[in-house]
Amino acid sequence: MSTERKRILQTIIDEIWNRGNVEVIDKFYTPNFKNHHPNIPEVSDFASFKKWVVEVHKTLPDFHATIEDMIAEEDKIAVRWTVTGTQKGEFMGIPPTGKKVRFEGMTVYRFEGDKVAEMWWVSNEIAILRQLGVFPPKR
């Protein structure tokens, strides 16, 4: 089952995140799915998740996620990823800069059967803010 779930996650990354295709979210997520993101608690359910994906693509129209690692255990898969994109829309109150960003993070996905039921995120927003010039550079 973990091999199939890894394939499902690769499709989710390609279709939903890299192409911005929110029409397939219903196919891959349970209707009562829960999203846990420390920086955007308002994106907690199915409907708000779809809206968030659209907003991400307005902010970074060339958004591209690359899976670096996937580790499966029982009903969960941890994914370490890297994202690149160009800020063309507002991000955390910052007007568009046209700057390219690159940041890393991890998402743990919990499955029910062949659908994602829950996600937990950790990402490096400080790296984005540094690249956009609104956070002091590393010393």
**pLDDT at 1 exceeding the cut of 70:** no
Q: Note the pTM of the prediction, 2 decimals.
A: 0.91
**Is the C-alpha dihedral spanning 115, 44, 100, 88 positive or negative?**
positive
Mean pLDDT value of segment 79-90: 96
Integer Rg of the chain from CA: 15
Name the average pLDDT for the chain. 93
Question: 46: which residues sit within 8 A by CB, 6+ positions away?
Answer: 25, 29, 31, 32, 33
**pLDDT at 13 exceeding the cut of 90:** yes
Instruction: Kindly list the structural domains of the chain, giving each domain's residue range(s) and its CATH number in brackets, ordered by start.
Output: 2-131 (3.10.450.50)
Mean pLDDT value of segment 119-125: 93
- Local confidence band at 11 (pLDDT 50, 70, 90 cut-offs): very high
b/e map of 70-108 (b: 16 or more CB within 10 Å)?
A: bebeeeebebebebebbbbeebeebeeeeeebebebbbb
Write out pLDDT tens, residues 47-78.
888 999 999 999 999 999 999 999 999 999 99
- The neighbour count for residue 18, using CB atoms within 10 Å, is 16
Distance CA 97, CA 15 (A): 26
Percent of the chain with pLDDT strictly greater than 90: 76
